[in-house]
Structure 1
Amino acid sequence: MAKSTEAAPIYVQRFGDKLVGEMQMDREAIARFNAGDRIKVTLHTGRSPSRLRFYWQMLGKLVAATDCAPNAEALHSVIKLDLGYAMPVRLKNGMTVLVPGSIAFDRMTEEEFGNFLERAIGWIAQNYGVTSEEIMNGGLAA
C-alpha cells in the first residue's frame, strides 16, 4: 500500500484566542500563507511522544528483565492481539487470522492511545504480576 502524500501536521498552541505554531518549523509553515488567507484546519489534540516513549521503554525493560518475549515488538503484538486491537483477515484458503492494529500517531488519537496504554499496563500487571512503576524503577531482577 502506498504511503499518503499528505503534508506533515502543523502543531500549534493556544494563547487566548490565538493559535501559534509550536516549533519554528510550524511557524514557518504557517508563514507561507498570506495575511488574511482563509486556512482550513482540523482541531484535535496531538499525540504525546513522551507517553509513547514511556510505553516502549516499559516493554523493553520488561522483556530484558523477564525474557517474556524475543523483543519489545513481539510483546507489543501479543498485547494488541489479546486486548482486541486487531483486525480479522480472511485468507484465500478460508482461514481467518488476526492482524495486530497500529498505535501510530496517524492511526490513534491521544485519547485512544491513553486508553490503550492504561489497558496494556493492566494486562502486564495481570500477566506478569508487576506494575509499570516497578518496571520503570528497576524493581525487576534481570
Structure 2
Amino acid sequence: MARRPDKPVYSFIRKGNGLFPEMDYDLRALDGVANGQRVRIDIKEWRNLDRLKAYWSMLHDVVAATGANGLTAERLHEVAKLQNGCVDVVLLPNGTPIAIPASIALDRMSEPEFVAFFNKVEEWLAKTYGYVPEQRRAA
C-alpha cells in the first residue's frame, strides 16, 4: 500500500521570480496566509512518471525474457535495490548490522537520485541477466 505523506503536497509553477499555484487545490493552500507574510516551503522536483514507468517496464521485461531466477518484477526490484546500494542499515538486537532494501518513494528519493539508481540498475541487469534496453536493440 502506498504511504500517504504526513502533510498535503501542493504544486506551484515558477514564472520568473514568482511561484504560482498550479490548480485551485494548490491556491487554497494559501488561505489564511496574509499578503507579505513569511512562509516556509520545501522545494522538490516532481518524479518523472515516464522514467518510473520505464523502470518497472524494464523489470517486467527482464522477468519475461529471462525468468530472473523465478523472481517476480516486485522481488527483482527488492534484489536490485540490495545489489545497487539502495539500502537502509539496521541493527539487530544482538548489534549485528544488516542491510534491508530502502524505499524509492517520491518522498524518500529525489529525482536526481532516482536517475542515478535507474542507471545503476540498468547496468546491473545487463551484467546479471544480459538485459539490453529496447533502444539499444533497435540501433
The answer for unaligned runs of 5 or more in structure 1 is none
Identity %: 36
Which position in structure 1 is the counterpart of 2:73?
72
Q: Return the alpha-carbon distance in structure 2 between the equivalents of residues 27 and 6 of structure 1.
A: 19
* Deviations, residues 77-124 of structure 1 (Å, cap 9, x unaligned): 111111121133332355543211111111111111111011111111
Which position in structure 2 is the counterpart of 1:89?
90
Answer yes or no: is 1:29 the counterpart of 2:40: no
The answer for unaligned runs of 5 or more in structure 2 is none
TM-score, normalised relative to structure 2: 0.79
Which position in structure 2 is the counterpart of 1:121?
122
* Counterpart amino acid of residue 44 in structure 2: H
Which position in structure 1 is the counterpart of 2:44?
44
Most deviating of 33-42 and 66-75: 33-42
TM-score, normalised relative to structure 1: 0.77
Q: 1:27 to 1:60 in 2, by over 3 A?
A: farther
Which position in structure 2 is the counterpart of 1:105?
106
RMSD: 2.7
Q: Return the alpha-carbon distance in structure 2 between the equivalents of residues 34 and 98 of structure 1.
A: 47
Name the count of aligned residue pairs. 135
Most deviating of 56-65 and 88-97: 88-97
* Counterpart amino acid of residue 77 in structure 2: H
